[in-house]
Chain A
Amino acid sequence: MILYMLRRLTATAAILLVICAATFTIFYVMPADPAQAACGKACSPERIAEIRTTLGLNHSPPVQFRDYLVGIVAGRSYGTGAQAVRCPFPCLGFSFQTDQPVWTLLTDRLPVSISIAVGAAVLWLAVGVTAGVVSALRRGSLWDRAAMVAALGGVSLPIYFTALVLQYLLVVKLGLLPYPQAVPLTSDPVGRAESLVMPWITLAMLYAGVYARITRSEMLDSLGQNYVRTARAKGLPEPTVLRRHALRPALMPIVTIFGMDLGALLGGALITESVFGLPGVGKLAADAINSADQPVILGVTLFAAGFVVLANLVVDLVYAVLDPRVRAVG
């Protein structure tokens, strides 16, 4: 098992390296001149050349990439001599816009993204899985059909549309919630939760639909399994049959996609955060794209990819714990 985990970790590191290379290539081959972008509008050619040297843009791309990687694992310095700026580990460079380290920007924004993702995840798991199980148990009933139509709706409605409808209903019409705004983490937990309710519902609607449909089909599949028939033939009470023998196997695929979805969301819910103006990683990305802030775009991309890859690893390990067949061969 430990050996298995080590191997998985090595593989994960390799995947991250490949992602690094890919994103780096894309962003640094982009036509916009990073030095120009870093300098701002009115800028003399001398100043641009100076920035080039400071950012190391005068080196060949492979060397730049190497420096970038070294920066991530050990930190690096930009420029030389007295003007040198130290960028400590893990260095993803500095924002062209604010001159802050990208890493600091990311870690500052992360708590917001986490609270959006986790809150929404709890909501969609509860709603989606419950709806899916009930639909499967009452297959063909009015409830089943209604739930599946609703699920389809949830999956197909775009986030900005859901968000606007929610805002109209909850804020404008009913006045249940204040208009969402960034509330500092430390103060006013109630206000903070209130500001997150709509993003939670918006995201949950999208995912709950998917989860309801998957849960339903997995549950129907496991209800048809011979071991469920065996469980009934043993005379187990029906709730035990359903919970222990039908639901548990049905939830295995849910574990997989849940890990992936959560991982992806931790890297920022771009549209949701932008629509509600919440200062998460997604909003950071959106702003960075608008202002062509390349180090930030690159940093966010890597950061988000890191979460997805990590989630993948966690899912595999959890799977090995949950499924004895995987455990045996792992």
Chain B
Amino acid sequence: MTLLSVRGLSVEFRSGVRAVDGLDLELDAGAVLGVVGESGSGKSVTSLAVMGLLPDARVTGEIRFAGQDLTGLGQRALRRIRGNRIAMIFQDPLSCLNPYYPVGFQIAEAYRAHRRAGRREAHHVAVRMLDEVGIPEPDRRARAYPHEFSGGMRQRVMIAMALCLEPDLLIADEPTTALDVTVQAQILDLLQGLRERSGTAIMLITHDMGVIAGLADDVVVMYRGRAVERGAVREVFYRPRDAYTKGLLACVPRVDGALPLRLPTLQAPVEEQASLETPEVTP
């Protein structure tokens, strides 16, 4: 069953920059969709568009979530979906948590935004969620402030916050990019486990092909606001059709396998003006 279907999505900022340009996406309930691309590909803007968090941009096209077109909804109706049925976690968990409030409060606050619950009940939910994402002594830690947590623990807090209302869809925008590799492994493990238990669909946005390879069912490769390739994960990784996808897969230095003398590159012509690096694959 299709949970999220994006058709012809375009996002244009006031500056005239078209960050997303006619994008189509499809995500089934309970599935993991990897959205991969480099900076400027429009992958993060896409996620914010789905959340309705781009007040200053012109968003056109159709974003259909559980049968309902989100682009036509007012802020009030969108607010009821945000956090409740679609939740989101971001790249840098320290800056994404408010330094002035204990983490338990920030989780409880999300819960109470959508459920009729007293402070005490919401606090219990927060403690239970902290426990579920693997934070030791959740009772005590709920009262701690974000700066008292390590990077990995903060991202766990963000995940607890995102999942406390059992959303249908979790959008994870570069959830492990700011983390060390062993901590990244812990968080990926956690996401995988939560997905298996709760059946939450995940839209996983990343630049890291390895992260996609481990977690995603389907992949969309984005380049300059468009999807240049899409398909099942094995299809895209083992039989990429698009030149950009091929380049992206080949240019990552790997820790396994044969060691190339030089890395294959997507040739970037040196631009006259400062601009996005414009990779074009040379055969």
Name A residues whose Cβ lies closer than 8 Å to a Cβ of B.
Answer: 225-227, 229-238, 240, 244-245, 248-249, 322-325, 328
Query: Does the CB pair A226–B113 fall under 8 Å?
Result: no
Contact segment of B34-42, B80-88, B126-134: B80-88
A selection of 15 A-B contacts at a CB cut-off of 8 Å is: A226-B96, A231-B98, A232-B82, A233-B82, A233-B87, A235-B80, A235-B82, A235-B114, A236-B110, A236-B113, A244-B98, A249-B98, A322-B100, A324-B102, A328-B147
Query: Does the CB pair B98–A234 fall under 8 Å?
Result: no
Residues of chain A within 8 A of B90, CB atoms compared: 226, 229-230
Q: Which of B71-124 contact A (CB under 8 A)?
A: 75, 79-84, 87-88, 90, 92, 95-102, 109-110, 113-114
Query: Does the CB pair B88–A233 fall under 8 Å?
Result: yes
Residues of chain A within 8 A of B51, CB atoms compared: 233
Cβ-based interface call for B242 (8 A):
no
Shortest C-beta distance, B184 to chain A (Å), equals: 19
**Chain A CB within 10 Å — which of B81, B98, B161 has the most?**
B98
Query: Does the CB pair B88–A235 fall under 8 Å?
Result: no
Residues of chain A within 8 A of B158, CB atoms compared: 230
**Chain B CB within 10 Å — which of A225, A227, A230 has the most?**
A230
Q: 5 closest pairs, A vs B, by CB?
A: A235-B83, A235-B82, A234-B83, A234-B110, A226-B95
CA distance A237 to B83 in the complex (A): 11
Residues of chain A within 8 A of B97, CB atoms compared: 227, 230
Shortest C-beta distance, B50 to chain A (Å), equals: 11
Closest residue on chain A to residue B110 by CB atoms: A234
Shortest C-beta distance, B267 to chain A (Å), equals: 35
Shortest C-beta distance, A248 to chain B (Å), equals: 6
CA distance A226 to B81 in the complex (A): 20
Residues of chain A within 8 A of B147, CB atoms compared: 324-325, 328
Shortest C-beta distance, B129 to chain A (Å), equals: 13
Report which of B53, B98, B102, B148 forms a contact with A227, defined as CB distance below 8 A: B98
Shortest C-beta distance, B133 to chain A (Å), equals: 16
Closest residue on chain A to residue B105 by CB atoms: A244
Cβ-based interface call for B145 (8 A):
yes
Residues of chain A within 8 A of B114, CB atoms compared: 235
Q: With A230-B98, A235-B83 given, can you name 7 additional A-B contacts, CB distance below 8 Å?
A: A227-B96, A230-B90, A231-B98, A233-B83, A244-B101, A323-B100, A325-B147
Residues of chain A within 8 A of B84, CB atoms compared: 235
Query: Does the CB pair A234–B82 fall under 8 Å?
Result: yes
Which interface class (under 10, 10 to 19, 20 to 34, 35 or more) fits B?
A: 20 to 34
Shortest C-beta distance, A30 to chain B (Å), equals: 49
Residues of chain A within 8 A of B102, CB atoms compared: 324
CA distance A238 to B80 in the complex (A): 12
Query: Does the CB pair B98–A245 fall under 8 Å?
Result: yes
Residues of chain A within 8 A of B82, CB atoms compared: 232-235
CA distance A325 to B148 in the complex (A): 9
CA distance A322 to B92 in the complex (A): 24
Query: Does the CB pair A249–B109 fall under 8 Å?
Result: no
CA distance A248 to B88 in the complex (A): 23
Closest residue on chain A to residue B51 by CB atoms: A233
Shortest C-beta distance, A328 to chain B (Å), equals: 7
B136-171 to A contact mask, C-beta < 8 Å, 1/0: 000000000101100000000010010000000000
CA distance A324 to B102 in the complex (A): 9
Closest residue on chain B to residue A231 by CB atoms: B98
CA distance A85 to B148 in the complex (A): 60
Query: Does the CB pair B113–A237 fall under 8 Å?
Result: yes
Shortest C-beta distance, B62 to chain A (Å), equals: 21
Query: Does the CB pair B75–A238 fall under 8 Å?
Result: yes
Query: Does the CB pair B145–A229 fall under 8 Å?
Result: no
Query: Does the CB pair B95–A249 fall under 8 Å?
Result: no
Query: Does the CB pair B83–A325 fall under 8 Å?
Result: no
Query: Does the CB pair B148–A235 fall under 8 Å?
Result: no
Residues of chain A within 8 A of B96, CB atoms compared: 226-227, 229-230
Shortest C-beta distance, B259 to chain A (Å), equals: 39
Query: Does the CB pair B92–A226 fall under 8 Å?
Result: yes
Closest residue on chain A to residue B47 by CB atoms: A233
Query: Does the CB pair A234–B80 fall under 8 Å?
Result: no
CA distance A233 to B82 in the complex (A): 6
Shortest C-beta distance, B182 to chain A (Å), equals: 24
Closest residue on chain A to residue B80 by CB atoms: A235
CA distance A230 to B95 in the complex (A): 9
CA distance A230 to B92 in the complex (A): 11
Residues of chain B within 8 A of A231, CB atoms compared: 98
CA distance A325 to B161 in the complex (A): 21
Residues of chain A within 8 A of B95, CB atoms compared: 225-227
Q: Which of B42-69 contact A (CB under 8 A)?
A: 51, 53
Residues of chain B within 8 A of A237, CB atoms compared: 79, 113
Residues of chain A within 8 A of B161, CB atoms compared: 230, 234
CA distance A233 to B81 in the complex (A): 9
CA distance A249 to B158 in the complex (A): 20
Closest residue on chain B to residue A327 by CB atoms: B145
Query: Does the CB pair B145–A235 fall under 8 Å?
Result: no
**Chain A CB within 10 Å — which of B80, B81, B145 has the most?**
B145
Given A226-B90, A229-B90, A233-B87, also A324-B99 (CB < 8 A): yes
Given A229-B90, A233-B53, A235-B84, also A328-B113 (CB < 8 A): no
Residues of chain B within 8 A of A230, CB atoms compared: 90, 96-98, 158, 161
CA distance A226 to B109 in the complex (A): 17
Query: Does the CB pair A249–B100 fall under 8 Å?
Result: yes
CA distance A262 to B274 in the complex (A): 49
Query: Does the CB pair A235–B79 fall under 8 Å?
Result: yes
